[in-house]
Structure 1
């Protein structure tokens, strides 16, 4: 739009001036003189210039205002605090982005919606009272409400409101700042709890200090008494105690250390060394500075090392020594503390114990060799028997697996196989008890069920009479009758027998029963298996089925597979193959003893 000319501006100004004069009641009808017109024109020109300058200033001010408004709007939207404008009823008229995020709603949907919808039912009364106070008191008000959305990250919202006049509509509104104070509330609760606990502790501590202050004199006297007792205890302790400073001088030595090593307070450790000959327990000489006190002064820690010590007087003894350096906060060695115990008698007792253990082990081996013969001589016509036995590798200890062949009347033979839990002499004695009990009852009545029932009753009585109870054991007793071609057996919690025919068919022959020596009065059932020439019956212990590592054991499946592959072979070859495959499955190391008895009717 073109700017008005000077004349047009003049006419407009003249018109406005005359209008103003008329309102003021001043006469304007007379014709002005030329001088008045010139003077008036000058004044008007000056006034116009002033107006133009004012207009420019107003334009610049408007631009600044618009920029400030833009910055304010950006600040309003990007502020980390939520801002809302509410009317008296709580309707949202304006919201920034932070408020929308806090209320978990879209910003556009918040406007014209009631803020009550976004507040929990329990907090709506608080919100209405808050709005009422803002509009009535016209003072800033504060409240805290819970959000309606339970999944909201905010569990508590603080509202700070102030009354303002809407510049656009000229009516009163409430400007509200909403802040997530959940963490603050939690912190306040924790601080309050900590404060309460601290007050309780302070009260308790104050009471303790008061009591301690009242008893301070008694405590001091008691401490002095205890110190004297400790010094007396250390001085009379059976173990030799030596404290040395960083220079190697003895600052404390009790009577035992003086008696054992000749240590005395004030003397250097090297003086002790000069009169000692130190060696290992088996007599290998060591240098004098191998004394633990000397090594501790070099920063080394020694724990229960055994040395043989010889004094210049000729006395020899064995000591167990422990020593440690005493260091400051920077690791500098300030001295050393050492303890020496005369273990001469203990070493002699342990030597004697080892000798007794070796003797017991030898007795166990001898006893087991008589109980478990390497070969079985079967004199029953028509019966061929082979055995395999291997003790577990663990420390080459005597095991608890056993077997026996008993010649019975009527051209029959009995076969016993079992497993006693445990190893050593106790297990060997238990094996002997079972073996001879079964033999005795088999000579009276060879019925497997009767033999096992009687043996079980005897073992139960033995368990009750034994100190600490007897050992658990399993067993299986079978009677072979070659004339009737039968094998009768009763099972006392043991591995079942296996039958393999010449054609390769292999299966378990099972009958269940309780472990021996557990349930008195238990009657063992028995089963009868018909066998044909060439059939092989295999009895074994769990050292075979449990051969392996973790859950990958040989199992009954491994036994049946091996028997099927070696069907038709002699009992000796079958027993040997079964043991070898079990050992191979266990990677060359059995976890338990293993016994196998294989028989065939010829």
Structure 2
């Protein structure tokens, strides 16, 4: 495809004595064929465009040069000199010609030839123009232009920057001298200065002829007037501010790096932030690789082998000036082996940054072993690279490789210093991310190990649960839940939340969960249990304060200790649920008809304050009711008030669900819009009710003769339940427990049998004195009864009641005889 000629632009009227100035333009393709012809060229040589287009350009010369006389034009960006041309009428014309070797957008190279006909002759106004221009700025690159924007005079600095002598420049416009995208804007501002008389200023980037590096120029434009007020032209003064520009750019890039790198504690994102900052201001392509051994990183960090050999590096991030980073030969997440002597390995082993040209042997030998890298270097034209180690706190983590292919300038020493600064900032952030990831992984592992690994088997409720650790920035917290089987087929449901995040919060959670299970095992009512737990948290807080004082200045301190808790006990026999809470969100109850209600429980103070009472509330639940216990991480958010979260929870609980597990997932999806900012614990339980036919109770008279009647009633009930195999042991247990109650306790006395997943025998009385099992001596008449009960039953115990106590013993039965057996 041929390049279209850039025609002579319409110029403003020039003084009468300059009307002979015109510009001849022509374009010639790589084969020497004329492809463009301007009106000025037609006036100069007498050929119309129709007569000359498509002809060899050499036919316009008076003598066709030999091949030996021609310089290697394909290697020149620009050429200027005097050519002897032949007009159509045969006359000889000598013209000073300036030729630009161009590479247009279509990729077809051609030459633009420009000649200022008659413009190179001095004019009386030239000296006046120059004097006015030098008065404005004698120490800068100064050129003066006439009202047609043609250069009339230039000082040494200006002609040196433009690469032509003062005589060669005279009569040309800047657009004739430089083939640069910034020049049209300069000429537009020149015209504005001529028209308005207001000085104009701009900063641009242009490459001086013969140089490969762009320069930053500060350009001022002024209108020039003679003593009589006549407009003579315009002066352009340019100050080379390249070093100041790059220094300012580097400072801005460092400031940008400080703002953008390390915005999260995620290793991959931090590496990608480094890559995004470096491209395109510093490099055209960058890769960030970490040592593959970081996957097994311990506190001492990875070890780089000192001996020669390849190193395995894992690609974490890369970036390019081209979308999709087509230069990359390794995808993120992949591991590649880099041989000894390659810039990444050389940088890692020496611990110093390395700057290389692609043509150097160190790189040539490396890429010669990798055909894919060789093809990418040739395809994209890589010419220089820098490899900078990522080191922090005495540990080398990986390497960042910066490369240029689109930017024409190779890396300089200042670029290496800037790359080292960016890599140092990123390395500290990556090291912080790795340390945090290890600590958070430890905390999550600890947290999950302290939570129930599986919910215990019991028949009172059907349960499902979920636990979500907080997002990376907050860190794992101390939320927990638990399901604890109690005597009498009852079950305790617990949800708690420890203040703070991290390993200390997880450890405190484990201690509190253990304490709750211990207190639940002795069947304390919910309000009493929270009171004991409050005392424990207070003691833990006192210990933490002492630890902080002893480790003042140490980063690892225990911090504040505090917690909230909700404790509920459900009895499937009576369908009563007793609840108490310590500063915890209230539970939600969903009735079988879908009605959702937040239980109005006394809030109670958070655990650890001490001195304030807790109150229990007892409610009756219908069979099939749903009880939802949760921590505030589910409903509280920075985006909305906690009431909004509770409303979403209640609305979701009211909807249908195929199972409790599905319901838990639905609740998390509806109430949590994204990754939680705090830990979330959710426990949902659907209540069951034990059929009345599975429970038998008798009042026992406080007379020793009533023991035989109690045994008889118990055996008869076991026959009705089909539990004849358990009759012998049950008779012994009933006889012992009832006898003890008659002898040592106070009436009223009640015997109750419960046929659940096990067979439970309970004897209740009005005494608060609990029995203790002891080993009887040889001649003791008593003391062997409870020992016998303990040996014959699965477990036994005692629990306080509002009117006294209950002693119970539990026997295992065949699963096919259980009321809830599958």
**TM bracket (short chain):** 0.3 to 0.5
Higher helix share: 1
Q: Given the two structures, how large is their TM-score scaled by the length of structure 1?
A: 0.41
Q: Given the two structures, how large is their TM-score scaled by the length of structure 2?
A: 0.31
Instruction: Identify the structure with bigger relative contact order (alpha carbons < 8 Å, sequence gap 6+).
Output: 1
